[in-house]
A = this chain, B = another copy of it.
Amino acid sequence: MFTQVKNTKVYEQIIEQFKTMIAEGTLKKGDKLPSERDLVEQLGVSRAAIREALSALQIIGLVEARQGEGNFIKENFEESLVDPFLLIFMLNGSNKEQILELRRVIEIETVALAAMKITEEEITELEQCLTSLNESEDEASKVKWDKSFHYNIAKASKNILIINMMNAVSSLMDSFISDARGSILMISDNRSILMKQHEAILQGLKDHNPNIAAEAMRQHLDLIQEYIVK
C-alpha cells in the first residue's frame, strides 16, 4: 500500500537545486553565488543547511570559496573527476592490464580524431616533445616528454569530453607510462623502436590521416602490452 519514504536531507535538496540551475544554464562557470544570507532567505532553510550544502559542493569541486569575495561556480571543474577515478581503481583492485586496455580504448580513436583536427601549431608542439624526448639525458625527463606527447594528442582532438576523460585517467596513466618505459627499456633495441613508433604516430597526424595515425598508435600500444601483460 505504502511506498518507502525516502529520507532526503535538506542539503541534498539544496544541491539538487544547484544542479537544476546548471542544467538550465541559469548558473554558469565563474558565476558568483548569492551570499549565505540571501540563500537562507531564497531557499527558506537554516544557515547550517546552506553551509553543509556549500561545503559539499566545494568537495565535489563544483564551487570554490574565494576569501573575502564569496562563493563561485568553479572554472576548472573537470579536475575533480581525477579523484573519483583513482578511488574506483583502488577500491576495485584493478591491475595494469585493465589500465592498458583503457588506454587503448581512449588513445587509438583519439589519435584518429586528432589527425582530422590538428593544427600546424599543435604539430610543431608535438615535434618539440619528441625532440626533447630524444635529446634529454635522464630517464625522468624522458618520461615527462613521453607523457606530454600523449596528452597533447588528446588536446588536439579539441573535444572537451575526451580531454576531461584523459584528465580523469591521467593519474592512472602517470605511474603507468613510467613503469611501462622501465620494463621496455630493459631490452636495449627497444629504445630506437619506441622512437620510431612515436615518429610514425606524428607522421600520421602530420598527414591528417586518421587510419595511419590510429594504426601507428595501435602498434605502439601492442609493444607496451607485450612487456606489461604476461
Interface on A for B, CB 8 Å cutoff?
7, 11-12, 15, 19, 22-23, 25, 28-29, 52, 55-56, 59-62, 67, 73, 77-78, 80-81, 83-85, 87-92, 94, 98-99, 101-102, 104-106, 108-110, 113, 157, 159-162, 164-165, 169, 172
Contacts and interface: CB of A to CB of B under 8 A. Distances in A.
Count the copies. Answer: 2
Contact of A91 (B55, B77, B104, B169): B77
Given A55-B55, A60-B84, A102-B159, 11 more contacts: A22-B90, A60-B60, A89-B161, A92-B161, A98-B161, A102-B162, A105-B106, A105-B162, A105-B165, A108-B108, A108-B109
A88 B78 contact: yes
Contact of A164 (B7, B52, B88): B88
A211 to B, nearest CB: 10
A94 B157 CA distance: 14
Contacts of A52: 52, 55
Contacts of A11: 55, 59
A98 B102 CA distance: 19
Contacts of A159: 98, 101-102
Contact of A85 (B81, B89, B106, B108): B81
Contacts of A109: 104-106, 108-109
- Which one of A55, A62, A83, A157 has the greatest number of beta carbons of chain B within 10 Å? A55
Given A102-B165, A110-B105, A94 B23 contact: no
B105 A91 contact: no
A22 B91 contact: yes
A25 B94 CA distance: 12
Nearest to A91: B29
16 contacts: A7-B67, A15-B59, A22-B90, A55-B55, A55-B56, A59-B59, A77-B91, A81-B84, A81-B88, A85-B164, A92-B161, A102-B165, A108-B108, A108-B109, A109-B109, A161-B172
